[in-house]
């Protein structure tokens, strides 16, 4: 491999790594959602917590992204919104990720 080919490969690897990082950040950013006038993160932790609490209680309290307490009165609806947003963001990330895999190959 000559030096130009090496540089090309190196640049491609760097660009792909930065683009991957940005795409993941975009997905994380998209997971922040407003619900009942508070902000929540539709991440696995929140989804698991809501699902666990929902099994035993009709309403419960959570902390939003700024550590303010919020009463959740309709856990089923909240869980549905969380899952929807989580999967929407990850689906978009998956689409982008596939293009990186093709470039790497």
| Contact positions vs another protein (CB under 8 A) | 15, 17-18, 21-22, 25-26, 29-30, 32-34, 37-39, 65-68
Q: In whole angstroms, how far apart are CA 15 and each of 11, 34, 51, 65?
A: 6, 33, 39, 31
- Residue 44 CB, nearest approach to another protein (Å): 17
Contacts of 94 by beta carbon, 8 Å cutoff, 6+ apart = none
6 or 17: CB nearest another protein: 17
Q: Which is nearer to another protein, 48 or 63 (CB)?
A: 63
Q: How far is the CB of 19 from another protein (least distance, A)?
A: 9
């Amino acid at each position: 491999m000559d030096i130009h080919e090496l540089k090309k490969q190196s640049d491609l690897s760097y660009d792909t790594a930065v683009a991957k990082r940005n795409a993941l950040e975009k997905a994380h950013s998209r997971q922040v959602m407003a619900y009942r006038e508070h902000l929540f993160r539709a991440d696995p932790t929140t989804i698991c917590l809501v699902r666990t609490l929902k099994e035993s209680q009709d309403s419960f309290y959570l902390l939003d992204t700024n550590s303010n307490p919020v009463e959740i009165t309709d856990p089923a609806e909240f869980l549905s919104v969380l899952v929807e947003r989580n999967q929407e963001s990850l689906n978009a990330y998956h689409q982008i990720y596939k293009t990186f895999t093709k470039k790497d190959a």
